[in-house]
Amino acid sequence: QQPVQSPQAVILREGEDAVINCSSSKALYSVHWYRQKHGEAPVFLMILLKGGEQKGHEKISASFNEKKQQSSLYLTASQLSYSGTYFCGTLNVGNNDMRFGAGTRLTVKP
């Protein structure tokens, strides 16, 4: 089952902050965040694992609430380069087929 992302789209001015949420109805092993710019391949941002381990870029922060099966990606002091579509991918406990959310389109304006 696909995770649910919110919001679907957000528009920011440079320097503003944004939060993107991802939730699942199933017990999660891990949440993965990717950013895709138009016409390009998705790029890895971060993995959050059950148990608290995180792997990813230093400038990106995220949280994973295991009890609620929810993750949030925090984009602070946004830059123009942050524009793109953000996807969360989830791996459920017990299997390895990644399910992606529908994406959140982030636009950062000058």
Instruction: Summarize as ranges the residues that interact with another protein (CB under 8 A).
Output: 2, 29-30, 32, 34, 40-44, 47, 55, 87, 89, 91, 95-103
Q: Tell me whether residue 32 or residue 78 sits nearer to another protein (CB atom).
A: 32
Q: Which is nearer to another protein, 37 or 68 (CB)?
A: 37
Least separation in angstroms between CB 87 and another protein: 6
Closest alpha carbon to 100 in 25, 44, 34: 34
Shortest distance, position 4 Cβ to another protein, whole Å? 12
CB of 16 to another protein, least distance (A): 26
Look up residue 12 and give its two tokens.
């920011």
Q: Are 103 and 86 in contact (CB under 8 A)?
A: yes
For another protein, the closer of residues 78 and 101 by Cβ is 101
Q: Which residue, 11, 4, 5, 3, is CA-closest to 80?
A: 11
Residue 31 corresponds to which tokens in the numbers above?
A: 């949440």
Instruction: Find where tokens 């925090």 sit.
Output: 74
Report the nearest approach of another protein to the CB of residue 81 (Å): 18
Q: Which is nearer to another protein, 83 or 100 (CB)?
A: 100
